[in-house]
Every structure is written in C-alpha cells, then in structure tokens.
Amino acid sequence: MAHIKRMLAVLLALITFTIIALPAQREKGKPAERSWVETTLGSLTLDEKIGQLIIPAVVGMFLGQDSETFQQIRRDITEYHVGGYHMLGEVNILHEPAGVALLLNHMQKISKLPLWITADFEGGAGLRYIGATRLPRAMAMGATANEEMAHRAGQITAVEARAIGIHVNFYPVVDVNNNARNPIINIRSFGGSPQMVSRMARAYIRGAQSSGVIATAKHFPGHGDTSTDSHLELPSIDVDRARLDQIELPPFRAAVEEGVGAVMTAHIALPRIETEKLPATLSQKVLTGVLRGDLGFGGIIFTDAMNMQGVAAHYPEGEAAVRAIKAGADIVLYPPSVEKAFNALKQAVQSGDIPQSRIDESVRRVLEAKARLGLDKNRFTDIEKLDQVLGNKAHQAGARQIIENAITLVRDKNRVLPLKLAPEQKVLFISMVDNSEGWRDGQPGRAFLEGLTARNIRTTSVYVSNKTSPAEFDLIKKLAALADVVIVNGFIRVSSFKGSIDMTEGEIDLLKHFSARQKPFVFVLFGSPYLISFVPELPTYILAYEYYPAAEEASLKAVLGEIEFKGKLPVELPGFYEIGHSAK
C-alpha cells in the first residue's frame, strides 16, 4: 500500500506541474497559432529574421542589469534581434534558479519577440541549479532496461525546466555508444544497442514533450563511434551509408517518428557520405539530404555549439554560420561572435548566396515552435512557484528510483557481496579520481564515506588522484595491509574539453595490487564503465555510470545488501561482457 501511495504521489506531482503538452513537430498548430506565425513573419525586417536564427550563450546565473554581461545580452537582443539564448553551466559551480528565472524574465521584457531559452539538462535541472532534481544521465537509464524510467526522467526535467523559464532541452543523446574509447559521448548515451537506444529515446521524448518542453535528439547523424572530442578537434567516422542505416540512424528515425521537436547536429566528418570532408553541421548532403529528405524530419535543426573546434578551427566564424544555414540548419547555436554571424548571414542574403525564401523557411519553423510552446501568449515564468516545483519530494523519489535500479554488478568472482562486516572489522575506503579539479557535484566519495560512518563501520579514508605521488601510493598499500576489507570508489568523468577517460598509471597499479590480495576488495566505478580493460583482474566490479551523491548512496546500499543489484550492462565491455550482462 505504501508503494502505491508513493507512486500516486509521483504521478500527482507530475500532473500538477505539467505544462501544456506539445503536439508532434509535424503538426502545424491551431488556427490562432498559425495566424500569429504568419502575421509575425510578415511583419519582420530582414535583420529581425536573421536574428531569429542565432542563439548566443551565457552562464545561467543572477546578473545585475548594469553588469557588462547583461548589457551585452541587451545589445544582442536589441541590435541583432537574437531569437533566444542558451543557458550554460559552470564546471564546478551550481547557481540559484531564482536568479536565473529573474534574468530570463528581464531578457524577455527587452525582446520584441518572445525568446526561447535552451539548456543542456542531461542530468536534469539539478545538473545546473541548486535545489533542482539531479537525475542520472542516459547510460544509467539504459542500465535499468526500463522505458518508464526514461519517460519519468523526461517529465521531471521538463516540468522543472519550464518552471525556471527554459523551453528547449538539448536531450536526449541518441548516439549509439559503440566505441569504448569515446571520451565525449560515453555515459551520455543510453547504450550500445540501436534498438535499446531507440526505445529509451522515444520514452524520454514522450515524457519531456508531454510536459511542455521541446526535446532535442542529438548528435546527428551519430557521435557514438568516435575516439576524439569534437570540442577539441574534428572527429571522423569512416563508415558507409549502409552502416549508418544499421547502427547510427535508427535512433534518429525513432525520434522523428515519435515527433521530436528538434535535432542537434554533430561536428563530425563522414568522408564516405560527404566527400568534401565537411562537418555534418555544414553538410547539405547530411542535413537536407538525409535528415530532412530520407528521415522526413520537419522540426528545428540546431547546430551544435559553433565555438567548438570541430568547426571553429576549420572555418571563419561568419563563413561557418552561412554554411550551416545553407546546409539546412535552422539555428546557429553559440557562435563565437554574434555580430560576425549576423553580418555574414545578412550579406549572404543580400548577395543572393542564401535566398530570402530559405531564411523565411527557418524563421517560420522557429515561430511555429515558439507558438507550440505557448510563448506567443506568455513568455514569462512565475518565480513564486519555483519552490513548489524544483526538487520536490515526488521528483526526488523518481530520481532515486532510477539510480537505484541502474546499479550493475558486473563481476563478484570471490562472492564477497553483500558485505557483512563484523563490528571489529576495519575498512580502508579509497576515493580515486581521474582528475582532482572541476567537480560540480561535491567531493567524490564523500556520500559513500558518510554512509559507511553512519552505519558505524570502522573506516579509514584516503583520497587519490592524478596528483598522488609514488611515495603516497606506497603508503596506501601499507595501510591496506592493516585493513580487513578495501573498498575503492573510482570516478572517471565524461566531459567536454577533457579529451580522455583514463586513470593514471599509479591508480591502475594500485588497483592491480589490491586485486592480487586475498582479502576482500570491492571496486565501484562511477562514470565511464570501461576501466576493466585496463585492470582485467578486478575481482568485484560494480558500475554506477554516474558520479553524484545519490549514485554513491545507491551503490553503498547495493554493496551492503540493502537493495538488490538490478542493473544490466547497456554497453559491451569489449573482450569481457556483452550487452545485457549481470552477475546478479
């Protein structure tokens, strides 16, 4: 009965705060919406039309109206007529959502047309803002093998996004992660099976768009089989169209069939598809030919951020914007210079390089999307309701259920789980991170350690990182000799501009040392799941896929037998385990 009540509470909360459900992208809206779109389009100058195709970015935070940053926003809106803004996060800081909502309301007041606001809420609104619900990224959802989890994540994220004033979520990632060395997609993907990624993506899109946010399938035509980060360089996927149809494109087809409102492009080269070696973002063959033509997508095409080196290192700013629109994109996202992108697009229209009809086509799509979001009627957010919506108990319960269902027992060779510790037994707990800097979600390992001490388990804790010296590693080995059990939490982040998903040689050596001992050794990996290829002898291998406190809490419960291991591998661990594996 208690379980039923909890489920009802979750559903009630979601229904209570749901915004009007969005129609499928292929539908053209109600007569009043169509009238607003056509009337507005007919009233716009060329400058105003071009501005609708540009979305700059700013860190989503409180800004004083006389601050330099806010004055730049004002210029972008009044001089360049930008259609919206993208809310960035910071590497290791969460901001207050009320300050963001206040900023967005001020921005809306300045703009002649309603702005649409975008964000990358891949881990829920709590990935960016204090007090909002932090959700696991896609691979953890894939590990649950439960579409309802993805659907619920989409709902929760959308409701909280709209409460803040954000209308477009650049999610879900529908890339199929079939490259274990992928440093940028990895846990952001639902997994390595096109069929499973398609199912989970459909569910997430339904949840998000039924709750008033435009979902975005990314990164077209697929960024999962790369070993380089397009933030740093231009990756290349050297496959033919038959392979794309088999692996990369099915999730995008599924998203289009589901009515996804937007698709984001990838800054990747496809030399067998686009012989000019253009990034997909700038390729008419890829965007107009494949996405618009073959897949029949009629919604908004966003470029990925145009300041990324996959494009920016190869094309001047203005030229890149022009090429993207000519290729079929509707929105130039986060150009390094709004002024240069605007002027280049205007000159291209005036010279006839881009037909006026091509601009009108994209502006119409933008206005239709804004009307579907209800922005033609109300562009403002009610700050007074934030504390009713963000991080409420029902949302937190839904998020906790997802991560607890994701924890995966990959291997328990010596059958040490669940750990049953006598009061006199000593635990050496080690928090091991790939890089000591830039952690947004608190100190790695703290929640796990606090859980151990709260259960009166005798624990000595150690922190190791890329800055740990050889002498310190030797000391840790001596400490381990005094312990009855060693538990290591490994943290491998997947983030832009990082470029790698590896532990240091010293950390790998330490794991090998513990694996050779006879005493119980439990390794829990948070983040990229592929470390076993470097330490194949690990006796106990647990995957959480995420790295935030709730993932640590759920993992500890599973290690101690307080909850079951329910997750299944959503990706192949090459040479070791297939998709769907579980040692449970």
- Catalytically annotated residues: 231, 304
What six digits make up the tokens of 15? 């229904």
| 295: DSSP letter | S
Contact indicator for 274, 234 with CB cutoff of 8 Å: no
Q: How far apart are CA 98 and CA 385, in angstroms?
A: 10
Cα-Cα-Cα-Cα dihedral sign, residues 237, 243, 244, 249: negative
For residue 265, which of 250, 247, 287 has the smallest C-alpha distance? 287
Instruction: Tokens 């984001």: give the residue.
Output: 264
Q: Are strands 54-55 and 84-88 parallel, antiparallel or unpaired?
A: unpaired
Rounded (10°) angle between helices 97-110 and 68-79: 40
Contact indicator for 114, 48 with CB cutoff of 8 Å: no
Contact indicator for 137, 177 with CB cutoff of 8 Å: no
Q: How far apart are CA 157 and CA 279, in angstroms?
A: 31
Neighbours of 81 (CB within 10 A): 21
The three-class DSSP label of residue 64 is: coil
Q: Are strands 458-464 and 485-492 parallel, antiparallel or unpaired?
A: unpaired
Region of residue 87 (phi > 0: left; psi between -120 and 50: alpha; otherwise: beta):
beta
Q: Write out the E strands in 348-502.
A: 408-412, 426-433, 458-464, 485-492
- Residue 335 corresponds to which amino acid? P
Contacts of 572 (CB under 8 A, 6+ apart): 178, 180, 192, 578, 579
What six digits make up the tokens of 519? 């005493």
Q: How far apart are CA 354 and CA 160, in angstroms?
A: 39
Q: How far apart are CA 295 and CA 552, in angstroms?
A: 40
What six digits make up the tokens of 529? 């799941």
Rounded (10°) angle between helices 317-327 and 356-372: 80
| Alpha-carbon distances, residue 269 vs 142, 335, 494 (angstroms) | 27, 20, 22
Q: How far apart are CA 584 and CA 411, in angstroms?
A: 8
The three-class DSSP label of residue 241 is: helix
Contact indicator for 189, 238 with CB cutoff of 8 Å: no
Region of residue 438 (phi > 0: left; psi between -120 and 50: alpha; otherwise: beta):
left
